[in-house]
């Protein structure tokens, strides 16, 4: 059975849980296997965009929109750098982390749990 859902808590904050990942948008907090992972604002929004719809491929321009509120002047390769840093941070917690999938020529997706 899948353990993946997004919920709204009593205080109105949005919690996204995907397997071992937990994102709290109100508190801007992220945990992996109950261990905190410190993310920049851009990294948080990119991860939230991916984890909110596991299996759905998000193009770099869509992720720019999520991270930078549609700033059209951003280089799409900036997203590649953010994803690289995200993977590095999670692999520091769990060497087998592989939840962010690259879809070559298109963008990225969050692995379905």
Fold of 4-110: Arc Repressor Mutant, subunit A (1.10.10)
Domain boundaries, the chain: 4-110
Residues 47-57, mean pLDDT to the nearest whole number: 96
What's the angle, vertex CA 15, arms to CA 107 and CA 101, rounded to 5? Answer: 20
For 27-47, write each residue's pLDDT tens digit.
Answer: 999 999 999 999 999 999 999
Residues 85-111, mean pLDDT to the nearest whole number: 96
pLDDT class for 69, splitting at 50, 70, 90?
Answer: confident
- In the chain, % of residues over pLDDT 90: 73
């Amino acid at each position: 059975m899948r353990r993946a859902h997004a919920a709204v808590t009593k205080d109105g904050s949005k919690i996204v849980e995907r397997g071992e990942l937990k994102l709290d948008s109100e508190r801007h907090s992220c945990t992996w296997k109950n261990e905190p992972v410190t993310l920049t604002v851009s990294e948080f929004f990119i991860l939230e965009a991916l984890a909110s719809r596991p299996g759905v491929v998000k193009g770099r321009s869509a992720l720019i929109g999520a991270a930078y509120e549609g700033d059209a002047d951003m280089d799409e390769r900036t997203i590649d750098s953010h994803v690289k840093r995200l993977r590095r941070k999670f692999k520091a917690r769990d060497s087998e982390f592989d939840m962010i999938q690259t879809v070559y020529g298109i963008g990225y997706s969050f692995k379905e749990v």
